[in-house]
């Protein structure tokens, strides 16, 4: 009788172990994603209302989970780019130049997109004129 109980107990333990192993492997399924850590890239252009690029505009990228912000400055073609951001995070992006601030654009982690294009168009008719030493009183 004890041999039968040992056999049944061993069988139950084996079934439980296989069941736990199956659950672990199902949770670890890759779902077609690349191996390694995925990152998010954000890039785009800042232009005026006529479509001309704005060089020297500031682009603020805010990680909404940690409240960490990054500031970028557009190049001569009005372009900006940042790579290697955390993938599973929401980001808010906005641009400004000479007091003109764009609307905030959000990038959701739910989109599951590595490459994110975010363009801005600023109404420079509202811009504050720069002050400098060469201005007349």
Mean per-residue pLDDT, 25-36: 48
Nearest to 63 by CA among 117, 106, 26: 106
- In this prediction the pTM is 0.67
8-25: pLDDT as tens digits: 777 666 676 666 554 443
- Domains observed in the chain: 39-126 (2.60.40.1120)
- pLDDT (0 to 100) of residue 119: 97
Distant-in-sequence contacts of 18-25, Cβ < 8 A, 24+ apart: none
Distance CA 89, CA 107 (A): 9
- Across the chain, mean pLDDT equals 83
Tokens of 38: 């995925």
Collapsing DSSP to helix, strand or coil, 19 comes out as helix
What length does the chain have? 137
75-116: pLDDT as tens digits: 999 999 999 999 999 999 999 999 999 999 999 999 889 999
Tokens of 44: 């785009």
């Amino acid at each position: 009788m004890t041999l039968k109980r040992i056999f049944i107990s061993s069988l139950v333990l084996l079934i439980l172990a296989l069941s736990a192993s199956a659950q672990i492997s199902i949770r670890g399924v890759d779902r077609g994603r690349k191996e390694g850590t995925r990152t998010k890239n954000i890039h785009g252009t800042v232009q005026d209302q006529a479509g001309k690029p704005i060089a020297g505009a500031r682009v603020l990228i805010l990680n909404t989970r940690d409240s960490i912000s990054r500031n970028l400055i557009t190049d001569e073609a009005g372009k900006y780019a940042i790579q290697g951001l955390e993938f599973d995070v929401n980001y808010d992006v906005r641009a400004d130049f000479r007091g003109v601030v764009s609307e905030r654009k959000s990038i959701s982690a739910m989109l599951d997109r590595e490459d994110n294009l975010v363009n801005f168009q600023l109404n420079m008719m509202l811009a504050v004129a720069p002050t400098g030493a060469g201005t007349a009183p």
